[in-house]
Amino acid sequence: MCELKYWIALSYVPGIGSRSFFHLTEVFGSPKAAWNAGEADLRSALDTRPELVRSLLKTRAATDPDRLLSKLRSTGVEAVIHSDPRYPELLRETATPPPVLYCAGELPGPEDICVSVVGTRRPTLYGCRCAVEIASALARCGFWVVSGMALGIDSWSHKGALDSGGKTIAVLGCGTDIVYPRQNRSLYDRITHAGAVVSEYYLGVLPVRSRFPARNRIVSGMSIATVVVQAGHKSGALITARFAMEEGRDVYAVPGDIHLAASKGTNLLLYDGAAPVVSVEKLASDICSRVEAWRGLRPKGSQGAAAESAQRGTAEGAAGKIMAALNDGCETVDAIAARAQMDVSDVLIELSLLELAGRVMRHPSGSFGIMP
């Protein structure tokens, strides 16, 4: 596909998030036309975002789209673009779908249904057992299990699906050519042979903490439901659950001991209205019974409504506090959180939304800055 290299190149530009990408392609008619547009036309299209114009022009001068595509093909990783029939339907309907999804392995087909199973990196034996049993039951029902390949609950979820002969998808917060964490090398290989390892990031992009919240929106976005097995009150799994709730997806949580830190997040989800996992069998049965109804009743205009909601959220006070902190010279997530008087987990979510909106940029070190 002659257009493919331009999808890759345009999404490769720092600061060009989902909204900016699709705005440019709408204005110019295609990623190719947007990539090749003149400076004056770009400034007109991005009249309130001159920093994005500078970023695009700088990247374009130093980047050969043919080389990006050639390098990708040499690794066997596929670039599945938003308009490709293979692109996951549920993810396409979210507020900020990745323009390009890089895939090592096999994506689910149009009739396949995904369920995400996520949780803490430091689970108890109870949490590990629940993750394996839940993922195994879902796999036996024919669902694809989606998680983040992190240590802990994520890894046990992938293993539970694989050991039951099922399919699983690992969504990374780095390029698909990077195995993270390194301890999961063998798990990575198993997943690419019985599912897929996917990412919105091009080859070589390193895993830094600030990229994981954006990764989590893909985990939940691909899934009809999200199951949080065990999570502390600041766990990244709660970010996944928040994205799922914002997209109107079902969220389940495994009840835990109120005295354990690893259960505080899941118990809070239950308090806030998540459905409790009272048994593995009941969970699987409940999700199975919802699938057909969901297929027939889901709103067709959900993407636009979700986008408006996300835009409103970005304009509210939390984003303003973060922009003020960046203006004051704060760059690391911890420094921004301290300056804005916010939890780190909330800062990471807002930074991800601001990055997707093209208002902030992420440096290779993992720190942040306002788009120049």
pLDDT at 294 over 90: no
Q: What is the DSSP letter of 94?
A: S
Position 27 pLDDT exceeds 60: yes
* Helix locations, 104-171, DSSP H: 125-140, 153-163
CA distance 10 to 16: 7
CATH code at 360?
1.10.10.10
Pair 160, 253 in one domain: yes
Whether residue 81 is contained in a domain is answered as no
Residues 266 and 177 in one domain: yes
Please list, residue by residue across 164-186, b when 16 or more beta carbons sit within 10 angstroms of its beta carbon and e when fewer do: bebbbbbbbbbbbbbbbeeebee
Q: Which pLDDT value is given to residue 92? A: 96
**What CATH number corresponds to the domain at position 256?**
3.40.50.450
My answer on whether 293 and 320 are in the same domain is no
The pLDDT of residue 348 is 76
Q: Is residue 82 part of a domain?
A: no
Domain-embedded: residue 127: yes
pLDDT at residue 304, rounded to an integer: 36
**Quick one: 330 and 293 in the same domain?**
no
- For residues 109 and 181, state if they share a domain: yes
pTM of this prediction? 0.82
Q: Are residues 23 and 152 in the same domain?
A: no
**pLDDT of 310 strictly over 80:** no
Domains contained in the chain, number: 3
Same domain, 362 and 239: no
- Check whether residue 261 and residue 118 sit in a common domain: yes
> How confident is residue 334, by pLDDT bands cut at 50, 70 and 90?
confident
Let me know if residue 309 belongs to a domain: no
53, 189: one domain: no
Residues 191, 278 share a domain: yes
Q: Residue 199: beta bridge partners?
A: 102
Q: What is the pLDDT of residue 307?
A: 35
Domain-embedded: residue 79: no
User: Do 293 and 323 have their domain in common?
Assistant: no
Confidence of residue 333 (pLDDT cuts 50, 70, 90): confident
CA gap 353, 94 in Å, rounded: 13
Which pLDDT band, with edges at 50, 70 and 90, does 313 fall under?
very low
The mean pLDDT of the chain is 89
Domain encompassing residue 321:
316-370
Judge if 203 and 293 occupy the same domain: yes
Over the stretch 207-221, which tens digit does the pLDDT of each residue have?
988 889 999 999 999
